[in-house]
Amino acid sequence: MKKNLHTISPKGVHIILDLYECSNISILNSSEKIEKILKNSVKKANATLIDIKVHKFSPYGVSGFALISESHISIHTWPEKKYVGVDIYTCGDKTLPELAADFFIKTLKSKKPTIVKIERGIYAEKF
């Protein structure tokens, strides 16, 4: 059976951040501060928070996940490397994932951020 693909509007935006040389180690190793940053990033993205889970590793590192109606925002920190990985995946046309990305970069004081933006769900199969 032959499949034809046609272009449609993106269903979501996925922003992947690699934040290098983050200068405030106390933030990167605090589950309370990371949880607060996640909550504020959801607001910046104009998204709807469902739940947040944060886990502190020993001796270093924090992982956090914000489940939002529009998808998710996650963060993983390596304080000893001054590195943070962030995923911001939002769907719909009311969200502002770029503002959340800027918020993470500024709040975590990354001197060398890298940003990858992927439009998700651009193609749909038509049978």
- Which residues are tagged catalytic? 71, 76, 91
Question: What's the CA gap between 104 and 102, in Å, rounded?
Answer: 5
Backbone angles phi, psi at 106, to 5 degrees: -70, -45
Residues 21, 82: contact at Cβ < 8 Å? yes
Q: Six-digit token pair at 34?
A: 């990371």
Tell me how many helices (H) and strands (E) the chain has. 3, 8
